[in-house]
Amino acid sequence: MMSAAWSWTRKDVMGAEVEDRQRTGLADDRSIAERLVAGDESALDEVYDLYSALVHGVALRTTRDRIAAEDVTQEVFVQVWEKIDRFDAERGSLRAWIATIAHRRSVDHVRRETARTRVAVTAVGSTHPSAEDEAVVVMLADRVRAAVDLLPEAQREVVRLAYYEDHSLVQAAVKLGIPEGTAKSRMRHALMRLSDSLTGEGMRSN
């Protein structure tokens, strides 16, 4: 008679290995989430290294636009930084949670672009915005520009090239003479700082 120790089947062994990997992944996800909640920016860098390719792939398939996919990718990791308290490791992996955010952000981007196109078409021949509307736009733009001016120079230059001079991050990296990965990292940290700064002024992100 075989002892209990040798009565496991290959399926049992594989199942145990899967459970071990799941427990390890759960612990890793919780650890990273705790570090993010504590404000550890290096944890965000680790998450970016692990999942940026996944996020960019989701964004590119949805938007079908390389530059838009880059923008969405940066937005996703800013949201991860801001909303990490909403992640529940018991309900799913960090990878799945981030992929869901990526899909939603990508769809939102497509909807925004579609809406802008409709507004642009409708606006042809229409009246100009009111003075009050224009004043609000100017005020918000001034707040954003003031927050950008407070960024460290290296981050400020990337933001200036990407948002004010309409360069892609690849083009910004070439212009600044830095690796593309460095440009993306600077942009990511710049957006985190801007988010914190503007949220403090009451301009909350979606």
Q: Angle CA(206)–CA(88)–CA(192) in degrees, nearest 5? A: 40
What's the pLDDT at 120?
41
Q: Tens digits of per-residue pLDDT, 105-144?
A: 999 888 887 766 554 444 444 445 555 555 555 566 677 7
Q: Angle CA(43)–CA(19)–CA(84) in degrees, nearest 5? A: 25
**What confidence tier does 24 reach under pLDDT thresholds 50, 70, 90?**
low
- The DSSP call for residue 128 is P
The whole-angstrom separation of Cα 193 and Cα 122 is 36
**What confidence tier does 23 reach under pLDDT thresholds 50, 70, 90?**
low
Nearest to 93 by CA among 23, 181, 18: 23
More confident residue, 149 or 144: 149
What is the SS3 assignment for 177?
coil
The whole-angstrom separation of Cα 97 and Cα 107 is 16
* pLDDT greater than 60 at residue 205: no
The whole-angstrom separation of Cα 57 and Cα 89 is 23
Mean residue pLDDT across the chain: 78
Q: Tens digits of per-residue pLDDT, 31-88?
A: 999 999 998 989 999 999 999 999 999 999 998 888 889 889 999 999 999 899 999 9
Structural domain boundaries in the chain: 11-126, 129-206
Helix 180-200 vs helix 66-83: crossing angle, to nearest 10: 50
What's the pLDDT at 1?
44
Question: What does pTM read for this prediction?
Answer: 0.59
Give the pLDDT mean for 21-40. 81
The whole-angstrom separation of Cα 172 and Cα 67 is 12
Nearest to 46 by CA among 197, 188, 196, 199: 188
Give the pLDDT mean for 177-199. 85
Nearest to 73 by CA among 200, 193, 155, 183: 183
Enter the tokens of residue 193.
């700082």
What's the pLDDT at 3?
44
Tokens 């199942």 — which residue?
Answer: 15
Enter the tokens of residue 100.
């869901």
129-206 adopts what CATH topology?
Answer: Arc Repressor Mutant, subunit A (1.10.10)
- The DSSP call for residue 91 is T
Query: Looking at domain 11-126, does it have CATH number 3.40.50.300?
Result: no
What's the pLDDT at 163?
80
What's the pLDDT at 125?
45
What's the pLDDT at 34?
93
